[in-house]
Structure 1
Amino acid sequence: MIDHVLPLLAFGVLTGLTTVLFGFGGGFVTVPVVYAFAQAQSGPGGDPMHVAVATSTAVMVVNSLGATVAQYRAGRLRREYLWPLVLYVGLGALLGAAGALAVGDTVQRFLFAAYLAVTIVDSVVRKGFLTGPGTEPRGLGPVTTTVGGVGIGAAAGCLGVGGSVLTVPLLRRRGLPMAHATAMANPLSLPVAVVGTAVYALAGGADAAGGASGQVGYVDAVAVAALLAGSLPTIALARRVVGRIPDRVHAVAYVVLLAVALLAVLLV
């Protein structure tokens, strides 16, 4: 992966931008990108999709933490939507990351694409996401917090995407503007990132991806460093423009970016 450092730096900038603007933590950028690079250099027995997902969760640990601090300082985080949902998301992430190791590389890639496709269709077809909040903000019910939280964490932990693709539409339909819904996706991505990184780093030992150098389990440390070098300065700059984007433009851009990520993972 070391020969791809410069391209990864560039994609790291995009990762930082999407972390702040959409709460992705980088998952929808890093997974297709790292998958393409890992596939190109994967040796016998390599699992490029596992490497991509593991690397994505490691990047999300730092990106989501940095963005969470920035959004907290901007006053966009609301405790009633984060607690105790974040606990159930973390539990689900443990189940999802462990389950991902039991499925094949091809199956995991298919699930990633299907996850994106369903979310895109749901966001466009169902009312409430693109049109904006039509009511006063509503709280999360106990079933949504518990069962929904575990489900969000499981899907995110399995696919390395932080859960924002489910939490943003969920909070959006509870009446929150995009700036607040995407802001809270960052702290909700943290347990997914921490749990997922730990599981993938400990899995498979030194031979997890065909013996590639610079890896800790399935996590590609070189790719993580390059992506963070591009993303962290971008997060510091991009946080200043979040509240200035019109709500509908913000929502449409979210769906468009999901569509681009879907095309990327299907074509590589």
Structure 2
Amino acid sequence: MFYPLLGLFGLCAGITTLLFGFGGGFFAVPLLYALLLTSHGAGTEVAQHAMQIAVATSATLMIFSSALATWRHHRAGSLRWDLVRPLAPAIAMGALLGAWAAPYVASAWLRWLFIAYLLLSLLDAWLRPGFLRAGEQRLDAPGNAGTRL
């Protein structure tokens, strides 16, 4: 029953990502967390680190999906490397710090941090022009001329 549920979660995560442009982790992390707790029992080592496992699984999938998206945008000529390259050191440092801190952060704290992240992301999507309502700003970047935000 464990693997069919994982497949169903993956399908739902893919659908929410397709519909909204984000949401796979929003959907999959809580469900994977609950599945790990119920399938392994409350007192087990897996249950004690279920949130770390769920977040790490989501982060691993993001690495592959972002690499694929980057490659496709690069091939299409729509990637502005001059804007991407300066972000690489900060992304790498954040990944290293997160991997180092993961064993030291209590699962309860991680759950609350994830909930705060969800709320902030949803609030940002709701308030930012272009997600729920059309913005008035235009992009003048090469390859995006005339595109509305």
| Length-normalised TM-score, structure 2 | 0.71
Q: 1:124 to 1:15 in 2, by over 3 A?
A: closer
Report what 2:92 is aligned to: 90
2 CA distance for matches of 1:64 and 1:5? 25
CA contact (8 A) 1:32 1:52 kept: yes
Q: 1:198-219: per-residue Cα shift (whole Å, max 9, x none)?
A: xxxxxxxxxxxxxxxxxxxxxx
Q: How much does 1:114 deviate?
A: 0.9
Q: 1:117 to 1:100 in 2, by over 3 A?
A: same
| AA aligned opposite 1:96 | G
Report what 1:48 is aligned to: 50
Residue correspondence of structure 1 range 4-83 to structure 2 within 5 A: 4-17=2-15, 18=17, 22=21, 26-42=24-40, 43-45=43-45, 46-83=48-85
Which consecutive aligned stretches of 4+ in structure 1 deviate over 6 angstroms post-superposition? none
Residue correspondence of structure 1 range 141-220 to structure 2 within 5 A: none
Q: How much does 1:21 deviate?
A: 6.0
Greater Rg over alpha carbons, structure: 2
Is 1:106 aligned to residue 108 of structure 2? Answer: yes
Q: How much does 1:23 deviate?
A: 5.3
Q: 1:22-70: per-residue Cα shift (whole Å, max 9, x none)?
A: 256x422321221111111234233110111122122223333233333
Q: Structure 1 residues 44-53 or 94-103, which shifts more?
A: 94-103
| AA aligned opposite 2:38 | A
- Name the SS of the counterpart of 1:84 in structure 2: helix
Q: 1:90-141: per-residue Cα shift (whole Å, max 9, x none)?
A: 21222233223222111101110111112222333455654444334389xx
Which runs of no fewer than 5 residues in structure 2 stay unpaired? 142-146
Aligned-pair RMSD on alpha carbons? 3.0
CA contact (8 A) 1:19 1:64 kept: no
CA contact (8 A) 2:138 2:148 kept: no
How many residues end up aligned between the 2 structures?
139
Q: 1:126 to 1:65 in 2, by over 3 A?
A: closer
CA contact (8 A) 1:48 1:105 kept: yes
| Length-normalised TM-score, structure 1 | 0.43
Which runs of no fewer than 5 residues in structure 1 stay unpaired? 140-175, 179-268
Report what 2:144 is aligned to: none
CA contact (8 A) 1:38 1:48 kept: yes
2 CA distance for matches of 1:88 and 1:81? 13
1 CA distance for matches of 2:12 and 2:77? 24
1 CA distance for matches of 2:102 and 2:55? 9
2 CA distance for matches of 1:87 and 1:109? 27
- Name the SS of the counterpart of 1:9 in structure 2: helix
Report what 1:120 is aligned to: 122
- Name the SS of the counterpart of 2:104 in structure 1: coil
Q: 1:152-201: per-residue Cα shift (whole Å, max 9, x none)?
A: xxxxxxxxxxxxxxxxxxxxxxxx767xxxxxxxxxxxxxxxxxxxxxxx
| AA aligned opposite 1:34 | L
